[in-house]
Amino acid sequence: MKHKPILRMGLAAALLAHLAAAPAQAQGQLDGDAKLACEALLCLAASARPSECLPSIRRYFSISFRRFGDTLRGRLNFLNMCPIVSQPHMTAYKNSIIHGAGRCDAANINQANFTSMGDGESYIGNVMPTYCVAYYGNGLQQAVAPVYVGTPMQGGHWVEAQDYPQALQAHNDMLAKAAAAAAAAQQSN
């Protein structure tokens, strides 16, 4: 985990170095969407976003089409406006941002992993979607990945990491009550 801040600083340093090394004429052209795209790359990696991130984040998430695939392509095209994304090490990072940003919190993972078994039963799977694994595993995210509480067939679900202790306690309390109710029902038979 200690390598993540170093990698984030490396991304920021690479972006800033690339922009600083650009000719003065090119630097003068880095405004509008190109500037917002570069800012979005940095801001989407941060868990706590300063107010300076608001314009770039707003621009990124404002790209929306009827079909989600078109939305992802539009957001990718937006990020491609930043000059640094042409560097090889940026491809995986950019792709993880496109597929994970805004879709890898506990609520969205629970929704993506919800399975109805058709007999009135349902469960939430305990395997994180691959795009979220890439999003959190790229070494650049400051955010902590959601964690799974319990088991799929016993009310398991994803929670934000900071909520895990309380969620685990609530889950264990629910299992204990269910076990006590089952034992009481068995004794009454």
Distances (CA, A) of 141 to 77, 101, 123, 183: 21, 10, 29, 46
Residue 91 tokens read as 């491809």
**Residue 51 one-letter amino acid:** S
Average pLDDT over residues 106-119: 90
CB atoms within 10 A of CB 43: 19
* DSSP for 110-140, written as a single string: HHHTEEE-SSS-EEE-SS--HHHHHHHHTS-
23-66 pLDDT, tens digit per residue, is 433 445 678 899 999 998 888 776 667 888 899 999 999 999 99
* Statement: residue 93 has pLDDT above 90: no
Question: What local confidence, expressed as pLDDT, does residue 168 receive?
Answer: 94
- pTM of the complete model: 0.64
- What are the extents of the domains in the chain? 3-100, 106-188
